Amino acid sequence: MLTVVSGRIIVVDDDPDWAYVIKRLLTRSGNEVLAVETGSAALEAMEEEDYDIIIIDVLLSGASGIDLIPLIRAAHPQTAIYVISGDSSSYSAARALQLGAERCIDKSIEPAALQEMVESTIERRCLTKSLHAERARFEQLIGNAPIGVFAIDLSTGRFTYANTFLLDLTGFSSDEVIGHLPTDFVTPEDKERLRERLRTRMEGSTLPSGEKATYRFIKRDGTTIELQVETHLVDVGEEQFIEGTARDVTAESRLSRLQEIVIGLGRSILSSRDIDEILQSVLDTITEHSGFQRAALSLYDLSVPDPQKGDVYKMLSSGLSEEQMARLGAGGVMTSAERELAFDEQFLLGDAYYIPHDRTPWRPSLGLEGSVRIDGWDPDDFLFIPLRGASGIIGHISVDDPVDRLVPTAETLKPVVALANLAALAVERTYRYMQLDKQRKRLHGLAQFSRELGGARDIQEMCQLAARRMRRDMHYEFLGIWIREEDELVLSGFASEGEYAQEDVLYAGLRMPVSGSGFARWALDNQQEIVVPDVSIEKRYLRWSNLTRSEIDVPILARKEALGVISVEASRVDAFGSQDKEIIGALASQLSVAITNLRARTFLFQIRDLAHMLVGAASIEELVKSTLTFISEQFSVQRSAILLREGDELILRGLHNPSGKGDVTVGDRFAVGEGIVGWVMDHGTHALVNDVTTDQRYVDGLDGTRSELAVPVMIGDSVLGVLNIESPQVGFFDE
């Protein structure tokens, strides 16, 4: 089964009914769908927003949908094109495929098949975007790598690429290097040796791939440095070139260690999908190669928007015994407030933070005492290397006990800082992959869960099933599902765990007014989700538990109204992110469909009961009254009427108008053909008017009417009268 994904889709069809069906079908799958009637409108929309798929009808008013394909392919090559025609095997379909359409389908396609096609296309596009992003990040990593990287054209022997590090190292600009021979930059003594080795490499002779050689390069300022060069012959199809790396071995500093780490360890940690493995390999490398005997790492909670303000959820070490780790844990981890003090500019040492023992801004019990004391370094000094990721500092490494008895400097710490940043990159990427995988599995589980909802006997059972499922799969501490019943919200399902399970405040069936304070009411009233990172600073918060620190509320939306709201609370600040919104939103959509279907089934049974009641009606007045009462209760309409024909007139036999406003009363007579009801009587077909102020047939009757639905009452081909329903809301009725 395909993973549930969501995308942006544009539908181009001048048939609004069919476009509405497609929009509604694909929107239920979580997609954002825009329907337009013309090709020009579609092109304008695509200039403003990026769309994954465009679905085009072959036959558009005054134009051919096929004519749009070349325009879209030229301007938006990444957008998949679906062409809809009456016959997917026709000439038009074949022509569409030749021009670049991805699929040609006919309008009789099964909804499930269309959904599967769309999900497959969007999932493929998401993967493509991810691959492009990863490639860009890799190229950026190489461009900024702490080692010189270059490429040489095999036919000319001239530079075609030099990364930033190599340019900074030699002092030249890119324009001063690209297009020049490598021999232009070496000392006269090394020119012939370099020229000969390049010639051998270009001829593909016996020179071993990857063999290292050292040359003296003349920097732009005239000074000389020694670079250890390693080259490879790259053969990609018809393209051949030499790629290589250049390492500064002049000072044999810590920077040379960084080169080995990037080449050796870098590949393994960037390809790993195990966060513990990544971090442990970094710590072991630090204690083995960077000049420190002990290293401890704290990784912050990556699920919050700003991990630096989150809790420490993982600690690892290298060079510490089990007893030392136990003592370190007993002393307590650094709080977010202490981390803020530690990562202050006054303690900066390059990109690390050095805090002398006599300036520590926290409690004495924090950390372990060291064993090395040298001039400028005390055993109780602190040295932190932050793990800097895309979302800020996501953790830190504390190093101790310099092995070579040298005081750490910004220069000697560069390899460790670079390794920490590389680890942060790998950890963040792995965490994203893990979260995406979890999200796919959760959404897949929700898709299967929809079948369980369909089997529920009533709304309360449905909501209770949903609450328990979310607690089990998402481990939410508290989740409540409130369903609207007229002017009240009813707690129809809830589930809790941990300390919330000990609370005895809420219970199934609890009712509260729709109006009032609280985020659940706000979400219901505004028909949009709300995430509250910290309820303690919000005046709108309606407190029922002292445990709650953050909250998310997502409305359960039907087409015209909010059916209820899902409220989830947590005992920690900033507990909810984009994935929670997606998961809870998907549950809300499923509940909306399930509740609507359940109510529809109930409505059909009520229709059956109404039919039985109408058959037994003793008079027309009783029949009319029963019908109007049923309509007002089931459809929440404020105004309805039944008019029956007598000769050339329509007589108002029944009226439901609680407000009493208007000049219409039972017994009033109207000419056939007069007003919307007269038109329906005359033509024998229904009339749906979204805005009566724009319809010339409308005749004033009940005050405040904005939309109207009139349906003929018929036996066979004979029209007996008209059932008329009115609403003060524009566009209240649909087909």
Tens of pLDDT, residue by residue over 135-192, are 566 556 555 557 888 989 888 899 999 988 899 889 999 999 999 999 999 999 999 9
User: At the topology level of CATH, where does 144-250 sit?
Assistant: Beta-Lactamase (3.30.450)
Each domain of the chain, given as residue ranges in start order, spans 8-142, 144-250, 255-434, 455-602, 617-727
Rg (CA), the chain: 36
Residue 10 has pLDDT above 90, yes or no: yes
Q: Is pLDDT of 634 > 80?
A: no
Q: What distance in Å separates the CA atoms of residue 600 and residue 609, rounded to the nearest whole number?
A: 14
Cβ partners under 8 Å of residue 677, min gap 6:
643, 650, 670, 710, 722, 724
Cβ neighbours for 51, distance < 8 A, ≥ 6 positions apart: 8, 9, 10, 34, 45, 76, 79
Q: Is 675 left (phi over 0), alpha (psi -120 to 50) or beta?
A: left
Question: Taking Cα atoms as reference points, which of 230, 218, 243 lies closest to residue 154?
Answer: 243
Model confidence at 590: pLDDT above 60 = yes
Structure-block tokens of residue 269: 């940690």
Say if residue 435's pLDDT is above 80.
no
Q: How far apart (Å, rounded) are the C-alpha atoms in residues 434 and 445?
A: 16
Topology, domain 255-434: Beta-Lactamase (3.30.450)
Report yes or no: 331 and 362 within 8 Å, Cβ to Cβ. no
Q: Report residue 157 CA to chain centroid gap.
A: 47
In the sheet with 8-12, reading across from the earlier edge strand, the strands are 32-36, 8-12, 53-57, 80-85, 103-106
Q: What percent of the chain has a predicted confidence (pLDDT) above 70?
A: 86
- Residue 225 CB burial class (10 angstroms; 0-12, 13-18, ≥19): middle
Instruction: Quote the pLDDT of residue 3.
Output: 42
pLDDT greater at residue 30 or residue 240: 30
Q: What is the pLDDT of residue 141?
A: 57
How far apart CA 433 and CA 391 sit, in angstroms, is 16
What angle (nearest 5°) sits at the alpha carbon of residue 361, between those of residues 377 and 388? Answer: 80
For the record, the structure tokens of 489 come out as 């919200």
Percent of the chain with pLDDT over 90: 20
Say if residue 410's pLDDT is above 80: yes
Cα(446)–Cα(601) distance, rounded to whole angstroms? 23
Q: Looking at 273-277, 338-342, 366-370, 470-474, which range is the least confident one?
A: 366-370
Please check whether the two domains, 255-434 and 617-727, share a CATH topology. Answer: yes
Confidence of residue 15 (pLDDT cuts 50, 70, 90): confident
198, pLDDT greater than 60: yes
The Cα 370–Cα 364 span in angstroms is 14
Start-to-end CA span in the chain (Å): 34
- 646 token code pair: 């007598």
Q: What is the pLDDT of residue 414?
A: 80
Sheet (strand 348-349) strand order: 312-318, 292-300, 392-402, 382-389, 352-355, 348-349
* Cβ-Cβ contacts under 8 Å for 42 (sequence gap 6 or more): 10, 12, 36, 54, 56, 68
Strands 312-318 and 348-349: unpaired
Each residue of 642-653: pLDDT tens digit?
Answer: 999 998 899 988
Which CATH architecture does the domain made up of 8-142 adopt?
3-Layer(aba) Sandwich (3.40)
Contact 553, 520 (CB under 8 A): yes
**Euclidean distance between CA atoms 557 and 492, whole angstroms:** 16
At the topology level of CATH, where does 455-602 sit? Beta-Lactamase (3.30.450)
Candidate CATH numbers 3.20.20.140, 3.40.50.2000, 3.40.50.620, 3.30.450.40; the one for domain 617-727:
3.30.450.40
**Per-residue confidence (pLDDT) for residue 446, from 0 to 100:** 66
The answer to whether residues 525 and 540 touch, using CB atoms and an 8 Å cutoff, is no
Q: Which residue has the higher pLDDT, 203 or 143?
A: 203
pLDDT band at residue 2, thresholds of 50, 70 and 90? very low
Whether the Cβ atoms of residue 567 and residue 537 lie closer than 8 Å to each other: no
Q: What is the mean pLDDT of the chain?
A: 83
Cα dihedral 528→118→470→481 (10° resolution): 30
